[in-house]
Amino acid sequence: MTTHFDDIALIECTDNGKKMEAEVLSFKEEQFLSVSIQRAVKLNMSWNPEKNVYIGKGSGLEFISTGPKKFITT
C-alpha cells in the first residue's frame, strides 16, 4: 500500500473568507505545509492539532488549509 498526496492544496484566508488553490512546495502530514500562491507568494503553515488544520500568516493575513488530498494505492 502506497500513500501519495496531491500537488495542489485548497487554502482559505480567515480574514476575508476567500478560498484559492495553491501549489504544494513541501509537505509532511500533520507537521507542516509550504505552498506557493499564484507562483508569487510563499506561505509556510504549521499543523494545529486542536483544529485539525494547517495555519500560516503572510502579508498580514491568516490562512488555513486541511492540506493536499491524500491518495492510497494498493
Q: Where are the domains of the chain?
A: 2-73
Residue type, 32: F
In tens, the pLDDT along 14-53 reads 999 999 999 999 999 999 999 999 999 999 999 999 999 9
Q: Give the model's pLDDT for residue 15.
A: 95
| CA distance readout (Å), 36 to 19, 26, 50, 51, 57 | 14, 10, 25, 23, 13
**Confidence at 12, pLDDT banded by 50, 70, 90:** very high
Q: Answer yes or no: are the C-beta atoms of 56 and 50 closer than 8 Å.
A: no
